[in-house]
Amino acid sequence: MVIVAGHILVDPQQRESYLAQCVGVIEQARQTAGCLDFSLTADLLEPGRINIFERWEPQAAVEALRGSGPSEEQGAAVLAPRSRSTTPPPSAP
C-alpha cells in the first residue's frame, strides 16, 4: 500500500475555487483501479492550506494517475506543495 499525505498552500481567497476545480480530479482518482482513498480538504485552521490524503495499491496505480499532473491553472495557483509518499511496512500475519 502507498500513502500520499501532505498539503499545498494557495491564496486563501482562491482556496474554494481551487477545490471546486479539483472535483473532477477526485472523481477520476476514486474511479481508478487501485485507489483506496483520495481526498483534498480545506484545513480548518490555515485559510490557504489544502490537505491531501491518498491510499493506493499497488505503486503502479498511483504512478498511472500522476502521469497527467495538475492543469496549468491549478499548478499556477499552488504557492507551496508539500506532500510525501510512503509505503507502510507489511502487516504481521
Q: Grid cell 504557492 — which residue?
A: 79
Q: 15: which residues sit within 8 A by CB, 6+ positions away? A: 42, 47, 48, 50
- Model pTM greater than 0.75? no
Residue 88's pLDDT is 59
The matching CATH number, chosen from 3.40.630.30, 3.30.1390.20, 3.30.70.100, 3.30.1330.10, for 2-86 is 3.30.70.100
- Averaged pLDDT for residues 61-83: 60
* Counts for the chain of helices (H) and strands (E), in that order: 4, 4
- Residue 63 is predicted with a pLDDT of 78
Neighbouring CB atoms inside 10 A of 74's CB total 15
* Domain boundaries defined on the chain: 2-86
Query: pLDDT digits over 30-62, tens only?
Result: 998 999 999 999 999 999 999 999 999 988 887
